Amino acid sequence: MKQYTKLLLGTGVVAGLIGSVPIVSNAGILDSSHALSPTPDGTEASFNNADPIRREWYSKKVKKLDPYAGNRLFKVSDKGFTYWTPVRPKSVQDKLGKKGFTSGGVSTGEYIYENFHTKFDYDNESSSSSWLHHLWQGNTRITRNFKTVKFNIAKQANALNKKAMATIGNGVLRSDDYNFGGNFKGRAGTWRFHGYTRDGSTSQNPFFPPDHTFKGVKATNWARYDEVRTHLFNITVYDTRRWEPVKRRMIQRLLEQNPVMKYKTVNQWMKILSLQTEPEVNPATGLPDGSYGGAVFAAYNEGGRYYKTFTLLGDKEDGDMNLNLERLVITEAEKDSSGNYPIVAEVRRLNPGEREYAVNKVYRKLVPGKKYRILSTVKNENKLTSTKYNPTSTDVGYAINYATSSEKYKNQGKTYFIYNPAYDKVKKTATKSGKIRPGKSVTIETTFTMPNNLKPGSKVRFGSMINDKHRQYGDNLDPDDDDLLSVVDVATGNMKAVGVTLVDENGKEVANPLPGHRYKIRYKMKYTGPDMKTKTTVTIRYYNQRKLPDGSVETILYQPNSKADDTKVSKDLVLKNGATYTFDTKAYQWYEFPWIHTEAILSSSVPGLNTNQNDDRFEKTWNQKYDLSIENLQVVPRTERDGVAADGKQHFGVSFTVNSEKCRLRQRKTTTPKTLTSASTSTGKSMF
Does residue 342 surpass a pLDDT of 70? yes
The pLDDT assigned to 6 comes to: 31
Does residue 675 surpass a pLDDT of 60? no
Does residue 29 surpass a pLDDT of 50? no
pLDDT tens per residue across span 234-274: 888 899 999 999 999 999 999 999 999 999 999 999 999 99
Does residue 128 surpass a pLDDT of 90? no
3-class state of residue 626 by DSSP: strand
The pLDDT assigned to 656 comes to: 76
Give the percent of the chain with pLDDT over 90.
71
* Alpha carbons within 13 A on the beta-carbon side of 37: 10
Question: Which residues have CB under 8 Å from 284's CB, separation 6+?
Answer: 292, 384, 385
| Section 181-197 average pLDDT | 95
Burial of 405 (0-12, 13-18, 19+ CB in 10 A): exposed
| Section 591-595 average pLDDT | 92
The pLDDT assigned to 33 comes to: 59
* Residue boundaries of the structural domains of the chain: 4-312, 323-489, 494-624, 627-683
Does residue 283 surpass a pLDDT of 70? yes
Band (pLDDT 50/70/90 cuts) for residue 511 is very high
Does residue 665 surpass a pLDDT of 70? no
The pLDDT assigned to 95 comes to: 83
Mean predicted lDDT score pLDDT of the chain: 87
The pLDDT assigned to 80 comes to: 81
Whether 73 contacts 55, CB under 8 Å:
no
CA–CA gap between residue 69 and residue 110 (Å, rounded)? 13
* Alpha carbons within 13 A on the beta-carbon side of 216: 9
Does residue 395 surpass a pLDDT of 70? yes
Band (pLDDT 50/70/90 cuts) for residue 31 is very low
Q: Which of 147-151, 292-296, 651-655 has the highest mean pLDDT?
A: 147-151
Whether 361 contacts 401, CB under 8 Å:
no
| Section 289-294 average pLDDT | 92
The pLDDT assigned to 318 comes to: 81
List, as one string, the DSSP characters of 394-438. Answer: EEEEEESS--TTTTEEEETTEEEE---GGG-SEEEEEEESSPPPT
Q: Which of 527, 538, 444, 534 is nearest to 484 (CA)?
A: 444
CA–CA gap between residue 250 and residue 256 (Å, rounded)? 10
Burial of 125 (0-12, 13-18, 19+ CB in 10 A): exposed
Q: Point out the least confidently predicted range of 206-210, 498-502, 645-649.
A: 645-649
Domains 323-489 and 494-624 alike in fold: yes
The pLDDT assigned to 666 comes to: 34
Band (pLDDT 50/70/90 cuts) for residue 315 is confident
Q: Which of 32-41, 91-100, 533-542 has the highest mean pLDDT?
A: 533-542
Q: Strands, E, within 529-650: which ranges?
A: 536-547, 553-556, 568-573, 580-584, 589-591, 595-604, 617-623, 626-635
CATH architecture of structural domain 323-489: Sandwich (2.60)
Query: Strands 193-196 and 202-204: what pairing?
Result: antiparallel
3-class state of residue 45 by DSSP: strand
Assign a CATH topology to domain 494-624.
Immunoglobulin-like (2.60.40)
3-class state of residue 97 by DSSP: coil
Band (pLDDT 50/70/90 cuts) for residue 23 is very low
Does residue 449 surpass a pLDDT of 80? yes
CA–CA gap between residue 342 and residue 277 (Å, rounded)? 50
Does residue 172 surpass a pLDDT of 70? yes
Question: Which residues have CB under 8 Å from 374's CB, separation 6+?
Answer: 328, 329, 330, 396, 430, 445, 446, 447, 448, 462, 464
Does residue 681 surpass a pLDDT of 70? no
Burial of 532 (0-12, 13-18, 19+ CB in 10 A): buried
Q: Strands, E, within 236-294: which ranges?
A: 274-275
| Section 609-638 average pLDDT | 86
